[in-house]
Amino acid sequence: QVQLVESGGGLVQAGGSLRLSCAASGRTFSSYGMGWFRQAPGKEREFVAATFWSGGRTYYAESVKGRFTISRDNAKNTVYLQMNSLKPEDTALYYCASRSAGGLGLSSYDYNYWGQGTQVTVSS
């Protein structure tokens, strides 16, 4: 299996920035792509961004386009989510996830493994 550990969450003021990291270990060779999702209290889990270990093509939710950037460092088996211009509505528990199959990875159902999440809180 693939183990995922997120880090980098915290409390920031609106307009600030954070960089989340997701370190993958275990059978990382079986991971085709990575994604970031978030879930706010009382809300459904929401797609944020996705990328691929090979090629690095990226996809974003409309709500974060232009503000968030997903990237990966293959040598470190680590995926990042750079979050700029943060808004209070970005407050959520952020999860990284790994999928072993193809596709765009825009649905949570596409993913096989999940981290435990890292909290991002944006104050006004």
Express each pLDDT in 51-98 by its tens digit: 999 999 999 999 999 999 999 999 999 999 999 999 999 999 999 999
- To which residue do tokens 């999440």 refer? 117
pLDDT in tens, 18-35: 999 999 999 998 999 999
Q: How far apart are CA 95 and CA 6, in angstroms?
A: 7
What are the distances in angstroms from CA 8 to CA 1, 2, 80? 23, 20, 9
Q: How far apart are CA 116 and CA 124, in angstroms?
A: 26
